[in-house]
Every structure is written in structure tokens, then in C-alpha cells.
Amino acid sequence: MNPHSVNADLHCHSTVSDGTLSPEEVAALAKAGKVGLWALTDHDELGGQARAAAAAQAQGMRYVSGVEISVTWANRTVHVVGLAVDPGHPILVDGLASIRTGRQARARTMGDKLAALGIQGAYEGALRFVSNPDLISRTHFARYLVECGAACSTQDVFKRFLAEGKPGYVAHRWAALGDAMEWIRASGGTAVIAHPGRYQYTDLEFSALFDEFRARGGEAIEVITGSHTPDQFVEYADVARHYGFRASRGSDFHGLDDGRHMPGTLPDLPTDLVPVWTDWL
Ligand code: AMP
Ligand code: MN
Ligand code: MN
Ligand code: MN
């Protein structure tokens, strides 16, 4: 089968992390978006994988297991997607558990910082949007800040309060790149750099990141993602060519109300790139 003829969406979130819909609901939307190969890639958590795989099967879609791992590299956060991992592998499961533990303390500190800015009760407010308390994230704070009128949209929240360098931001040390890649490799998976266009690195840092990622066995980057602009589709297609990376495609869907792309609706990969899913059909 020509992998380019498959509508793959290999980056989506559910209520298992910071999405607003269940794995089954996201599967139904992927099917509605004519997705043929799907992966649920919740942040730092594999708890939705069995449900997602079953829902994909019920919808008649191929499924590949996934997770989006939070990594700290050069003092900034990078997301590395692990695809086709074994969701029960103890090295991966334990590694992810180790980076989830800090989220509650960080969230309380975020609540304190927001209170100092005059926004009371943000921690408790964010918790109301959380299904899995271990995975409380800035996204949940953003939903509360919009609800209480402190900001007019999620984008507005990040721009004014929660993006790096803004007054409600709390830095956190996630997994080391080498550890995250070791967990993915140990569980038989493929490592993909998520939405590279989102990171605020210098050119020098970007080449060091891509070199290190490749040296550690990294195979692919996201080229077509809901987190890239059309200009970045072109820019990161060139990066994939330059480094010999395979290319991935995914909506980064989080829910119906966040203004992002629906599963399966992004442009196709450029046909000269090798899709990361080539060997999974
Ligand atoms: P955390 O893991 O708690 O740092 O939260 C990161 C999550 O916040 C990401 O997975 C996105 O879902 C969301 N996020 C980060 N930056 C933005 C942004 N500029 N606009 C909307 N959502 C964002
Ligand atoms: Mn997210
Ligand atoms: Mn991400
Ligand atoms: Mn994501």
C-alpha cells in the first residue's frame, strides 16, 4: 500500500491528559475525518491506549499506540511523541510515572502565582476541568481562566499568563531527552519530535537538537501538524530532507472548542518525504 494514500492522524489528545473528549469520542471524530490510521498520544500517560485501540477497531481504523512525552532540553520544553510503543512495557510505564509526579506541586505554584496577579482560586478552578489529576496541565488552567473571564480565549491565556516568560508560568524539569528516547526504544517504539516549529530555539540550538535526536536513534519529526503554520509545513519538510528524518502528520486535536484542526483534516505530507507510518500498514 502506498503510505501517502493513507489519511494518518498520529497526534491527538483525550480526557486522559488535556483533551476534552474521551478516547471513544476522539476515535469517532477521527473516523468522521476519514482517518485510516490513528494514534492517541496523550501527554505522559498510556492509560487511554487500550480504549483507543478498541475504539479504532470498532470504527474500522488501523491503530498505532502513542504517547507525547514532555522533555526538557537546553532549559526549554520539547515534546517527543513515541509511536508504536508497547503500552505495557515497564520501562516506559515507570519512566512516564516518574515525570508525572511533579505536576501537582507545579499546579499549586501556578495557582499561587495567578493569585498574586489577582486571579483567585485558579488551582481549584483548573482541577474542575481535570479528569486525571496526575496530568493537570496549563491547558486546564487556561480553560478556567477563560471561564472566569480573566482572559477571552486559550490563546489569550497563554499570551498573557502561561507561556514561558509570562507571570503565571512555572518552569518544570521534565524528562531528559536521552531518558525519554531510551523509554521509547526499550518499548519498541519510534521517536518523533513533535511540532518543532513551536520551540523558541536559535538555529544553532535547533541543529544541536536534531543532531542529538538522530544520534540517539530518533527517526522522525512532525511536518504537518495542527501546531504549524503553512510556512512551517514547508520549513520542516526541508528539515526532514536535510536530516534524513521520516515525516509525521497529526492534528494535535484537544477538543471541539479550542480552535484547532479536526482529526484527519490537515494537508497531506509532501510526496517526496517518507511517512513515519510506512512500515505499519
Ligand atoms: P503543560 O504540559 O502543563 O506545560 O501544558 C502544555 C500544554 O499546553 C500543551 O500540550 C498544549 O496543549 C497547551 N499549550 C501550550 N502552549 C499553548 C498555546 N500557545 N496555545 C494553546 N495551547 C497551548
Ligand atoms: Mn496538550
Ligand atoms: Mn505538544
Ligand atoms: Mn499534543
Walk me through the domains of the chain, giving residue ranges and CATH numbers. 8-99+173-280 (3.20.20.140), 103-162 (1.10.150.650)
Q: What is the DSSP pairing of strand 62-63 with strand 175-176? A: unpaired
Ligand nearest to the CA of 99: 1
- Nearest-CA residue for ligand 1 atom 3 is 137
- Nearest-CA residue for ligand 1 atom 14 is 139
C-alpha grid cell for residue 277?
507510518
Residue 232's H or E segment, with its range, is helix 230-243
How many whole angstroms from 138 Cα to the centroid of ligand 1? 6
What strands lie across the sheet with 8-9, from one edge to the other?
A: 8-9, 37-38, 62-63
Per-residue pLDDT at 259: 75
Looking from the CA of residue 77, the nearest atom of ligand 1 is 4
Q: Does residue 248 contact residue 276 with C-beta atoms inside 8 Å?
A: yes
How many whole angstroms from 272 Cα to the centroid of ligand 3? 25
Q: Does residue 267 contact residue 54 with C-beta atoms inside 8 Å?
A: no
Instruction: Over range 226-247, report the average pLDDT.
Output: 98
Terminal alpha carbon distance of the chain? 7
Ligand 1 pocket test target in 158, 161, 166 with most atoms within 8 Å of CB: 158
CA atoms within 13 A on the CB side of 30: 38
Ligand nearest to the CA of 12: 4
Position 257 confidence tier, pLDDT thresholds 50, 70, 90: confident
Residue 71's H or E segment, with its range, is strand 66-73
Per-residue pLDDT at 258: 73
Ligand 1 binding pocket, CB closer than 6 Å:
18, 43, 70, 137-139, 154-155, 158, 163, 254
Looking from the CA of residue 18, the nearest atom of ligand 1 is 12
Handedness of CA 120, 122, 128, 134 (dihedral sign): negative
Ligand 1 pocket test target in 100, 132, 138, 170 with most atoms within 8 Å of CB: 138
CA atoms within 13 A on the CB side of 18: 19
Q: Provide the whole-model pTM.
A: 0.98
Ligand nearest to the CA of 18: 2
Q: What is the largest CA-CA distance in the chain?
A: 57
Handedness of CA 80, 85, 88, 94 (dihedral sign): negative
If you search the block for the grid coordinates 485510516, which residue do you land on? 36
Per-residue pLDDT at 119: 97
How many whole angstroms from 252 Cα to the centroid of ligand 2? 8
Residue 157 burial class via C-beta count within 10 angstroms: exposed 0-12, middle 13-18, buried 19 and up? buried
Rounded Cα gap, residues 34 and 114, in angstroms: 41
Counting residues of the chain whose pLDDT is more than 90, the rounded percentage is 99
Tell which residue, 1, 68, 62, has the closest CA to residue 34. 62
Counting residues of the chain whose pLDDT is more than 70, the rounded percentage is 100
If you search the block for the grid coordinates 515525570, which residue do you land on? 99
How many whole angstroms from 17 Cα to the centroid of ligand 2? 7
Task: Looking at 5-89, list the stretches that DSSP marks H as alpha helix, in order from N- to C-terminal side.
Answer: 23-32, 49-59
- Nearest-CA residue for ligand 1 atom 13 is 139
> 89-126 pLDDT, tens per residue?
999 999 999 999 999 999 999 999 999 999 999 999 99
SS3 78: strand
Per-residue pLDDT at 150: 97
Residue 240's H or E segment, with its range, is helix 230-243
- Nearest-CA residue for ligand 1 atom 6 is 138
